[in-house]
Amino acid sequence: MAISTETGYYGARMNLKVFIKTYGCQMNERDSEMVASLLERAGFSPAVREGAADIIIVNTCSVRAKAEDKALGKLRILIAEKKQRKNLMVGAMGCMAQRMKSDIFRKAPGLDFAIGTSRLADAPSIVRQAVEERRPIIDTTDGRLQYEAGTHFNNQASAFINVLYGCNRRCSYCVVPEVRGKEWSRPALDIIAEAENLARNGTKEITLLGQSILSYGRANQVWENDEQKSKMGFVEPFPRLLEALHSIEGLERLRFTSSHPSGCTEELALCFAGLPKICPHIHLPLQSGSDRILKLMNRGYTTEEYRRAVARLRKAVPAIAVTTDFIVGYPSETEEDFGLTRAFMEEIGFINSFIFKYNPRPGTKASETADDVSGAEKMRRNHVLLEEQNRLGLKFNNLLVGRWVEVMAEGKSKRNPNRWSGRTKTNIIAVFENTEGIHPGEMVNVKIERAEPQTLYGSTHFH
């Protein structure tokens, strides 16, 4: 979106400070970054904390009811603060705003504006209109997001790049197709140019984002010419993109999320094996170890197909780390189905899992089916899987105790500012003593002294 001089002048003249609170996935984080950059370009100033802001925007998530409840609760708290802070304005953006549309003003009375997922590039003009007219403003028009490159924060060691939006898979429990629209992929050369610019400005690690990222280039053409011919002979759009990004000078690590078994092809396996900047980690959501439940979920694969996908990758890179997602308590899930999930978790050997209790989302096919697994049983199954995943995670992490691992330093640990944290190539969080004057973005060798299920602890120097 082109920002007019008038818009920029307006923001500066009013001297308004904006704070964005983000809920949800990495794509939401990137969306917040883009909107913050556009607002700053338009003359608004970033606020370092909520209390210093004139305008607070909550970037919302709709994947689960709990995520929506959390965002609505936050909005209501902020709106209540307007009684004491008369000039405070509160807005919502993102997936929940897109799903609820004008109903969000009934759910959060006193909300000043709402911006849908396809209108984020227009945030400066929408916010300006809300400030000028002092009435509720909404734009949740369906359509394709106008992605704005060049809207990253400066001096980032690690950065996100959106490469694919929307989703065509129609899993029976998922609202993503409704709130993000049909799948479309950005042109490859645009992505490469964005990554090159980030690398020139010091970014060492890039994570490519997409709802089902291995579908990149399937729904629309992304390679318009042969300027980037594949030296490795790749014909699939995503492997070609990975190869092109791998050649960028200054870039040291490449990641991507989230994946689907159908995209775990021989060419992707060759990428992992032949392109060392690609981190040996894949997030490959499973959701259930029961073929019956997977069919009801409309996931598009069987457990055998998932098993073969993982085997294909491990044949190329035996030490590749696999993480996943599970949903427990899906309608009609029996104890036998759950037992199959537990067994499959053990068989694959995930280094980490994100485990969620099923809750129906409005408008999805699954919501038409009775939610017949009790809340207490969902909680029990959730705890069982968490315990088993913690056991597996600790087993794998203990193998690293006493060894040196490469970690990209990210900054001070959130829990202990006297220590630093970063991630291994396999995406495990490592907390370490910074005795060497290390800076964010540096690749450091850390000797692991102890391990927990999801975290490693060590030092960069020993006396």
The enclosing domain of 430 has a CATH number of 2.40.50
CB count within 10 Å of CB 128 equals 21
Angle between helices 123-133 and 5-14 in degrees, nearest 10: 50
The answer to whether residues 325 and 376 belong to one domain is: yes
217 assigned to some structural domain: yes
For residue 228, the model assigns a pLDDT of 67
145 assigned to some structural domain: no
* Total domains, the chain: 4
Boundary of a domain, candidates 229, 264, 279: 279
For residue 461, the model assigns a pLDDT of 66
For residue 415, the model assigns a pLDDT of 85
The answer to whether residues 349 and 381 belong to one domain is: yes
Q: Which residue range is the domain that position 365 belongs to?
A: 285-398
* Adjacent-strand bridge partners of 357: 328
The answer to whether residues 317 and 266 belong to one domain is: no
48 assigned to some structural domain: yes
The answer to whether residues 193 and 238 belong to one domain is: yes
Per-residue pLDDT of the chain (463 residues; tens, 9 = 90+): 233 333 444 444 568 999 999 999 999 999 999 999 999 999 999 999 999 999 999 999 999 999 999 999 999 999 999 999 999 999 999 999 999 999 999 999 999 999 999 999 999 999 999 999 999 999 999 998 989 999 999 889 999 999 999 999 999 999 999 999 999 999 999 999 999 999 999 999 999 999 999 999 999 999 987 666 899 999 999 999 999 999 999 999 999 999 999 999 999 999 999 999 999 999 999 999 999 999 999 999 999 999 999 999 999 999 999 999 999 999 999 999 999 999 999 999 999 999 999 999 999 999 999 999 999 999 999 999 999 999 999 999 999 999 999 999 999 998 888 899 999 999 999 999 876 778 899 999 999 999 999 999 999 864 3
The answer to whether residues 115 and 181 belong to one domain is: no
218 assigned to some structural domain: yes
The answer to whether residues 183 and 67 belong to one domain is: no
Look at residues 261, 396, 393, 287 and name the one whose alpha carbon lies nearest to residue 340: 287
The answer to whether residues 303 and 372 belong to one domain is: yes
The answer to whether residues 9 and 95 belong to one domain is: yes
Boundary of a domain, candidates 109, 139, 169: 139
147 assigned to some structural domain: no
The answer to whether residues 164 and 260 belong to one domain is: yes
Runs of H (alpha helix) within 15-103 = 26-41, 65-81, 95-100
The answer to whether residues 104 and 172 belong to one domain is: no
146 assigned to some structural domain: no
Boundary of a domain, candidates 115, 139, 163: 139
426 assigned to some structural domain: yes
Q: For the domain that residue 92 is a member of, what is the CATH number?
A: 3.40.50.12160
Place of tokens 């029990």: 380
Q: Are 124 and 38 in contact (CB under 8 A)?
A: yes
The answer to whether residues 13 and 85 belong to one domain is: yes
The answer to whether residues 274 and 292 belong to one domain is: no
